[in-house]
Chain A
């Protein structure tokens, strides 16, 4: 079945570390549809994790990872597929009111799918070479140029994460325009709003929904924010930093290509 699709689409499939085909410098976002449902709406799938559920212990517990991936992320995928199917039916029947009423459900659930897909890949087992910031020499250089040093950056990131009121995410983002294309910035997004601003490239994200830490850290979210640094995948962060927003959008474009097949 895979061979029926253009090569570009293949680049977007997520595979375990051992079998992943590395063909581009960017970290692909895993948002391609693999099958078509009724009314020509694409069907999205839960990407497998590139490590085991217990691989981020002791910083993120196995139980959290399992629920988060197989429960929460799967629900976003399912709800996205359902919303897109209804949307496709509404397009088919020229029902513009229903199309508009579905926008928020699509944004929320597609955002949840995009955010978690990025998140899993920007985490790595503690102690692995990926988890060392030395795996991201170019990114660290830019971080130091922006915040002074790594510690000041981490402090600024921590402050942003702990300042989120309600559910949301903290992101290191490359804002990439013109001569200043490597400019970095820390942003927070509410609920499942994805980082999709013009030219914005998410480098790594930290999930600040309570489901991301509560079973282990309970109301002590500052400790979660402290420990997350042990499992950030700097190798992936470096790849995203070196990529362009065009690279980052490559899989979205291939999605559009697939829709025209």
Chain B
């Protein structure tokens, strides 16, 4: 995922086959802080491909507007952070931390989310296999038992946030955790599968009937992506 989240401008440019000359990059390096810029990842499916579970309109706004805004804001605040570090301004660095957490978290969360969704034609909704399936059965009895617990966690979020199936890096076991706003899954826990419970993720289609969204989204969960994250 890291390669998706943070491409260096050189790599990004190379992908577009318009790499700047070494000379122009050197000039930039001499005057500003050259760093990898976050970019909006492409979806591996069309906006309409998750219908009827998630409407094309929601997917378009969610990806091209909401996620893009997190990317832009993360880059802006990262630049300010680099400048604050350069000036050794500790207060400014601390003041910027919530902005990095929120916008960086928004970028990380959505990138993981798009990857752990798939159209039914591309395997969306196919149950997990192998070690992950075993870990879920060990903890929750069955996949249905797990989904029920996960949906209860989603419904219990007070405000904006996410629910995640995470792996405890200390014990290797899986558990369900909810995170407020755009707090990302970092530190002790490894993100395996995330579902966005912000209202913008479902409101245009489901309005205040969020339980219907939580029920429908399992039809487009990409368990193969989740299996790859599980260690």
Query: Residues of A at under 8 Å CB distance from B?
Result: 67, 71-72, 75, 104, 108, 165-168, 190-192, 209-211, 214-215, 218-219
Contact = CB atoms under 8 A, between A and B. Distances in A.
A215 B45 CA distance: 25
B172 to A, nearest CB: 29
Interface string B141-179: 000000000000000001111000000000000000000
A192 B157 CA distance: 12
Q: Which of B161, B182, B203 has the most CB of A within 10 A?
A: B203
Interface of B: 61, 65-66, 69, 98, 102, 158-161, 180-182, 198-200, 203-204, 207-208
A127 to B, nearest CB: 29
A219 B66 contact: yes
Given A192-B158, A210-B200, A219-B66, 15 more contacts: A165-B181, A166-B159, A166-B161, A166-B181, A167-B160, A168-B159, A191-B158, A191-B159, A192-B159, A214-B200, A214-B203, A214-B204, A215-B207, A218-B65, A219-B69
B161 A67 contact: no
B157 to A, nearest CB: 9
24 contacts: A67-B207, A67-B208, A71-B207, A71-B208, A72-B208, A165-B98, A165-B181, A166-B160, A166-B161, A166-B180, A166-B181, A167-B159, A167-B199, A191-B159, A192-B159, A210-B160, A210-B198, A210-B203, A211-B199, A211-B203, A214-B200, A218-B65, A218-B204, A219-B69
Nearest to A210: B199
Nearest to A105: B158
B98 to A, nearest CB: 7
Contacts of B158: 104, 108, 191-192
A115 to B, nearest CB: 12
B159 A190 contact: yes
Contacts of A108: 158
A-B pairs, top 7 by smallest CB distance, nearest first, are A166-B181, A191-B159, A210-B199, A167-B159, A166-B160, A71-B208, A219-B65
A211 B159 contact: no
A187 to B, nearest CB: 17
Nearest to A71: B208
